[in-house]
Structure 1
Amino acid sequence: MFVELISSEDRSREGTDVGNKITITAGNVRVLVELNDTRSAKSVWEALPFDAEARTWGDEIYFSIPVKMGLENGQEVVDKGDVGYWPPGSAMCLFFGPTPVSRGGEIRPASAVTVLGKIVSDLGQLRQVRDGMHLKVTRAEE
C-alpha cells in the first residue's frame, strides 16, 4: 500500500509543513532534503532518526542507512542535488557534482540508484564533509 508523505492540502500551504523534509548534519554542515513520494523515500522517513559515517566518492557523499530495499525506478544518471538510495550498499547518496565514473557533464552513480529526493539548501557546504565524519539524519523541524 502506498501512502503519500504529505497531503495535497499540505502542499497548498507551501512552506508550512516539514512532513517530507529531513536534515543531514555533519559537524558544521547541515543540509535540508525534500523527500519525494516514492515508497523508498517513505521507508527512509519511517527509519528516522539514525546516525551514519560519511564516505566520499568524487562529488558524492554516501553512507549506510538502516533500510534495505530494492531498486525503484532506477536511474544511472542523476541531477546535481539529487539524493539517492544505492541498493548494493544499502546507502543514501548525496550528489553534488561528478563522480569518478561520470562522463562529460553528467553525474553518474557507481550503479543505478533510486532517487529519494532533492537537496534544497546550499550544495557548496558538502565539500567540507570528509570520509569518516559522523552524520546525523533526522526529520526536519520547523
Structure 2
Amino acid sequence: MDEFTVVVDDHEFTATWVAENPETRAAIADALPIEGRASRWGDELYFSTDIEVPIENARETVEPGTLAYWPQGQAVCLFWGPTPASTDDEPRAASPVNVFARITETTPLSRIDGGARMRLSSKK
C-alpha cells in the first residue's frame, strides 16, 4: 500500500507514504481510517487522535503538502503554507513533527476554514 486517501470536507487527495519515519507510518497505517474535525492554524489543518507515537525523525520545517504526526498533541497535521510559527513561506510546525506522507495538490486547501472534516483512509 503506497498510497492512501485524504478527504478534507468535499476535497479528495491522494497521499503517498514516505519512508522518513517508519514507526509513525506503521502506526498511522494500522489506525486507518482515522478522522476528526480539523482546526486551522495558518496554512495547516490538524486534528487530535488516539494514536501514540514517540518523536522519531521529527522536524519543525516541512514542505507544502506534508502530512505529519505531532507527538506533543497526538494530532495529524496537513501543511500547505506558512503558519504563525513560520519565518518565511515554508510551513513550520509549532514543535517537531514526524512526517509520514505527502500530497501534491494543495490549492483547494486555502479555501477551507477550521472545523473541516478530515479523513484518512486506505485506497479503495
**TM-score in terms of structure 1 length:** 0.79
Q: Is the Cα contact below 8 Å between 1:24 and 1:136 reproduced in 2?
A: yes
Match of 2:112 in 1: 129
Take 2:68 and 2:24, find their aligned partners in 1: how far apart are those partners? 10
Take 1:140 and 1:89, find their aligned partners in 2: how far apart are those partners? 26
Q: Is the Cα contact below 8 Å between 1:52 and 1:63 reproduced in 2?
A: yes
State the AA in 1 paired with 2:70: W
Take 1:61 and 1:20, find their aligned partners in 2: how far apart are those partners? 23
Take 1:139 and 1:41, find their aligned partners in 2: how far apart are those partners? 13
Q: In the alignment, is residue 22 of structure 1 matched against residue 7 of structure 2?
A: no
3-state SS of the aligned residue for 2:92? Answer: coil
Take 2:78 and 2:55, find their aligned partners in 1: how far apart are those partners? 17
| Offset of residue 81 of structure 1 | 1.3
| Offset of residue 60 of structure 1 | 0.5
Larger radius of gyration between Structure 1 and Structure 2: 1
Q: How much identity, in percent, do the aligned residues show? A: 32
3-state SS of the aligned residue for 2:30? Answer: helix
Structure 1 residue corresponding to 2:18, chosen from 28, 36, 57:
36
Q: Is the Cα contact below 8 Å between 1:78 and 1:107 reproduced in 2?
A: yes
Q: In the alignment, is residue 96 of structure 1 matched against residue 65 of structure 2?
A: no
Match of 1:119 in 2: 103
Residues 135 and 106 (structure 1), Cα distance of their counterparts in 2 relative to 1, 3 Å cut: closer
Q: Give the RMSD, CA atoms, in angstroms.
A: 1.3
Match of 2:32 in 1: 48
Residues 35 and 66 (structure 1), Cα distance of their counterparts in 2 relative to 1, 3 Å cut: farther
Q: Is the Cα contact below 8 Å between 2:23 and 2:53 reproduced in 1?
A: no
State the AA in 1 paired with 2:40: T
State the AA in 2 paired with 1:99: T
| Offset of residue 137 of structure 1 | 1.7
**TM-score in terms of structure 2 length:** 0.90
| Offset of residue 135 of structure 1 | 2.2
Q: In the alignment, is residue 64 of structure 1 matched against residue 48 of structure 2?
A: yes
Take 1:96 and 1:68, find their aligned partners in 2: how far apart are those partners? 24
| Offset of residue 79 of structure 1 | 1.1
